[in-house]
Amino acid sequence: MSSRPVFGDRVRRLAERMAEEGFDLFCVGASSDLFYLTGLELHPDERFKGFFLRPDGVSFAVVPRLCAEEVEEVRDVLELEVLAWDDSEGALPSLRRAFSSFGVRPGSKVAINGAVRGLDLLMMREVLDLDFADGAHVLEELREVKEPFELENLRRASEIADKAFEEVLGFIRPGVSEREIKRFLVDAMERLGASGVSFEPIVAVGAASSKPHYTGSSGIVSERDVVLLDFGCKVDGYCSDMTRTVFVGEPTPEEVEVYEAVLRAQTAAEGAVREGMVAEDLDAVARGVLERAGYGEFFLSRLGHGIGLAVHERPYIVRGNRAILKRGMCFSVEPSVSIPGRFGVRIEDLVVVEGSSPSVLNRARKDLIVL
C-alpha cells in the first residue's frame, strides 16, 4: 500500500469529523498524531511547528525554515502549502500570512491536539481572537482501530521484543547493574531490526520492582533478587511494550505466590478479551483474580492501554471506562502486584481484538523463571 492513499484517507476522515464537530480549523503539533496524518516525524522543541487542516480538506503548515525541506516532501503525498519562518523573525509573521491567506477569521473554532503548547495558543491569539477547543479525542478515535499494515508492524515490533527478552536472560546475573541490563536490551532490539526504543526501558531490581514506573538505573543484581523488565521497540514508527519479571536465585514462597497470582490474572484477562466487551469489564476480570488471592490492594494501576504510534493511547482498560472493544484494537494486558518497599511483579503482553478470542502478539515465555 502506498503512502498517498493511506495519508490522504486519514486526512479526509479527519476533515469529515471536523465538519461533524463544528471545527473551522484543526492545528496538529509535532507528535505521533502528525506522523499518523502525514508521515512527518518532527521533534517537538521550542520552535512552533503546526499542521493546519480545514473541513474542506485544504491544509497548510507553518514550520521553521530548518525543517521546511522535510515538510515540502510531504507535498508528494498531500496537497499542502508550506509557510516557513526564520529564527530571526519568529513564527508570528508567518502565522499572520497563513491565517489571512486561508480565510481564518476572528472567533474561528480551532481544534488542537495534545502537542500544541500553551505558548503556541497565546501566539496564535496574538494574530486573531480564536476559540480553541480540545480536538484530541477526534484523533484518538481515528487511531484506536488499527489497519492491517499497522497490526503487522505491531506484531513485528513485539517479535523483536520477545527475542530481546530471550537474549537478556543469558546476561542477567549477580553483579550486573540495571543500567547494563537496559543497554543490553536496547542494543539487542536495534540489532534485531528495531529503529529504536518505544520508551526508556524500565529495569527494576529488588525493592525497586515495587515502583511501577521506576526511573533509576543504579541498582545491582544480588545473589537472590527480583528483576522486573518493562521495555519495547519501534518498527516503522509502531511500538511494542512488554513486561516480564524473573528471579535470580530461588524466590521466596511469598514471591512465588505473588507471581502465580499475577500470571493467573493475566491469563484470565487475555482469555476474556472479546469484540463488543466493555473495557472496564476486562479490567474487572484481572482485578477479581488478584482480589480473591488477597492482593487486590496492591494492584495500583489500570489493566492496560492502547498502543500504536504512541506507546500509550486509546483504548484504556480501566475501571470507569465504558468504551466498547472493537475488532482491530490493540492494547496491553498487564496486571501487577506492587508491595511497597519489598518487591513487585508485573506480566504484560499486547493483544489484538479479533472477534471471540484475541491474538496475543507476545510469545515470550511466562513461566516462573529462576536464573
Model confidence pLDDT, tens digit, residues 356-370: 999 999 999 999 999
**CB–CB of 54/102 below 8 Å?**
yes
pLDDT recorded at residue 77: 77
Whether residue 35 is predicted with pLDDT greater than 90 in this model: the reply is yes
Whether residue 76 is predicted with pLDDT greater than 90 in this model: the reply is no
Whether residue 129 is predicted with pLDDT greater than 80 in this model: the reply is yes
Would you state the cell numbers that stand for residue 244, as one nine-digit string? 516480564
Domain ranges of the chain: 3-143, 145-360
pLDDT in tens, 146-170: 999 999 999 999 999 999 999 999 9
User: What's the pLDDT band for 5 if we cut at 50, 70, 90?
Assistant: low
294-300 long-range CB contacts below 8 Å, 24 or more apart? 295/258, 295/261, 295/337, 298/336, 298/337, 298/338, 298/339, 299/335, 299/336, 299/337, 299/338, 300/212, 300/336, 300/338
- In terms of Cα–Cα distance, which of 89, 70, 65 is closest to 80? 70
How does strand 238-239 pair with strand 349-352?
unpaired
Determine the average pLDDT of the residues in 105-121.
97
pLDDT recorded at residue 68: 93
The pTM of the full predicted model, rounded to 2 decimals, is 0.95
Give, in degrees to the nearest 5, the angle at Cα 83 between 79 and 85: 155
Q: What distance in Å separates the CA atoms of residue 258 and residue 243, rounded to the nearest whole number?
A: 15
Class of the CATH-defined domain 3-143? alpha beta
pLDDT more than 90, % of the chain:
96
Determine the average pLDDT of the residues in 58-79.
92
User: What's the pLDDT band for 328 if we cut at 50, 70, 90?
Assistant: very high
Q: What distance in Å separates the CA atoms of residue 160 and residue 240, rounded to the nearest whole number?
A: 9
pLDDT in tens, 237-291: 999 999 999 999 999 999 999 999 999 999 999 999 999 999 999 999 999 999 9
Q: What distance in Å separates the CA atoms of residue 371 and residue 358, rounded to the nearest whole number?
A: 31
Whether residue 304 is predicted with pLDDT greater than 90 in this model: the reply is yes
Whether residue 79 is predicted with pLDDT greater than 60 in this model: the reply is yes
pLDDT recorded at residue 244: 99
Whether residue 292 is predicted with pLDDT greater than 90 in this model: the reply is yes
Is 3.60.15.10 the CATH classification of the domain at 145-360?
no
pLDDT recorded at residue 4: 54
